[in-house]
Amino acid sequence: MRQAVRRLAVLCSALFAVMAMTPAQAHAVESRPVPVTASDKYALRSVGAGNLYVSVEVSKTGSGEAMLRARTSAASLADLGSWEKFTLHTDDKGVTTTLRSEANGNYVTTERGYTGSYQNLLRARGTTSGDGEKLTLEKQTDGTYALKAATNDGYRYVTAEVQDPGADAGLLRARGTSVGSWQKFHLVYLAEENASDLGGRPSPASPAPAADFRVMSWNVCANHNSACGNHRVEGADLGAQITGRMGTDAEARTYRAVFLQEMCESHAKPVETALEAKTGTG
């Protein structure tokens, strides 16, 4: 029951929605301005580099280790390996995304501290997701995407440096101020070829049979707003107020869900303890 209470009691003011999609629906995100994904896998194909796929150079050493470079040709998606695969996570309500390399498990980072020809180089070396790992996807009229990254001098478009020589040919740097072919990339959805590249979305649930059950919902207003009646109230006192509204112990056992709004995280454990005692669940 403790787990059920944790799932059903909304202990903060934020509301989180979980969307379930079929693989076909997930593929349809390509038509949206920005793909909305939790962990689907994609490949990047550079227009300016002759439609070569972007690879993470995990075998390279030094300052260019794990840099992103448009250099892989493939007859089909099945020919791509982990170096060309990225897990795409949508963040900030769909405004930004992060790319996590399947080759080394690290997030793509813009190297704002670099200078010279490697300034703002993209490398898969981030172990956490912060401002340096956030990219904005801008869909173009031809269906391609431009990637914009935060740099020390503003926001710059990611460019495939097709003119660079040797092992640096096609490396990705955030330095463009406008979008041309070097700044355009195809965002290639990989789960169409391989179901294992589909993200962690659950399958749609079967409709539940119709049933009546008892629910309690209360905006307890127990936050740091001085206008709230429960302003700065302690967790134990708040738990007593909540369980007091549930009636007798027998009546409390009839509740199937309790939704609580405007609470602080510090209230969670005392309130949970009070609910367990009142409902006799534990």
Q: What's the rounded Cα separation, in Å, for the pair 222 and 243?
A: 15
The rounded distance, in Å, linking the Cα atoms of 18 and 4 is 17
Do residues 28 and 166 share a domain? yes
Mean pLDDT of the chain: 83
Alpha-carbon gap, residue 144 to 56, rounded angstroms? 21
Domain of 56 in residue numbering reads as: 23-197
35: domain CATH number is 2.80.10.50
| Sequence-ordered list of residues with C-beta below 8 angstroms from that of 80, at least 6 positions apart, any chain | 43, 53, 72, 74, 190
- 129 & 113 share domain: yes
Helix (H, G, I), strand (E, B) or coil at 259: strand
Structure-token match 């307890």, residue found: 220
SS3 221: strand
- Domain boundary, last residue among 174, 197, 220: 197
Winning range, highest mean pLDDT, from 4-18, 112-126, 191-205, 265-279:
112-126
pLDDT category of residue 51 using cuts at 50, 70 and 90: very high
User: pLDDT per residue over 185-226, tens digit each?
Assistant: 999 998 776 766 666 554 555 666 777 888 999 999 988 778
Q: Is the per-residue pLDDT at 33 higher than 70? A: no
- Tell whether 110 and 190 lie within a shared domain: yes
- Rounded average pLDDT over 232-250: 92
pLDDT-wise least confident of 18-27, 107-116, 229-238, 267-276: 18-27
Same domain, 85 and 124: yes
Q: 146 vs 8, which has greater pLDDT?
A: 146
| pLDDT of 237 over the 70 cut | yes
Q: Are residues 50 and 171 in the same domain?
A: yes
The domain boundary, picked from 164, 197, 230, lies at: 197
pLDDT band at 32 (very low <50, low <70, confident <90, very high): very low
**Is the same domain home to 75 and 120?**
yes
Question: Each residue of 166-180: pLDDT tens digit?
Answer: 999 999 999 999 999
Total domain count, the chain: 2
One domain for residues 32 and 104: yes
| Same-domain check for residues 162 and 217 | no
Q: State the pairing for strand pair 96-101/86-91.
A: antiparallel
Q: Write out the two tokens for 79.
A: 């020919």
Q: What's the average model confidence in pLDDT over 243-262?
A: 91
CA 8 to CA 214: how far, in whole Å? 13
The arithmetic mean of pLDDT across residues 267-276, rounded, is 91
Report the distance separating Cα 236 and Cα 269, nearest Å: 9
Same domain (yes/no): 159, 258: no
- Residue 48 confidence (pLDDT): 96
Same domain, 246 and 172: no
Return the sign of the alpha-carbon dihedral for residues 23, 24, 27, 30: negative
What is the reported pLDDT for 122? 98
Q: Which of 27-36, 52-61, 210-219, 266-275 tops mean pLDDT? A: 52-61
Same domain, 99 and 210: no
Sign, CA dihedral 64-67-71-72, equals positive
What's the CA gap between 261 and 110, in Å, rounded? 39
92 shares its domain with 227: no
- Of 198-207, 226-235, 271-280, least confident by mean pLDDT is 198-207
The answer to whether 22 and 203 have CB atoms below 8 angstroms apart is yes
**Residues 6 or more apart whose Cβ sits within 8 Å of residue 168:** 64, 69, 117, 161
Q: Any idea which of 3-7, 41-45, 119-123 has the lowest mean pLDDT?
A: 3-7
Residue where a domain terminates, one of 197, 231, 265? 197
Q: Which residue has the higher pLDDT, 231 or 120?
A: 120
Q: Write down the residue that tokens 């040709």 correspond to.
A: 73
Is the distance from CB of 197 to CB of 236 less than 8 angstroms?
no
What does the pLDDT average to over 96-106? 93
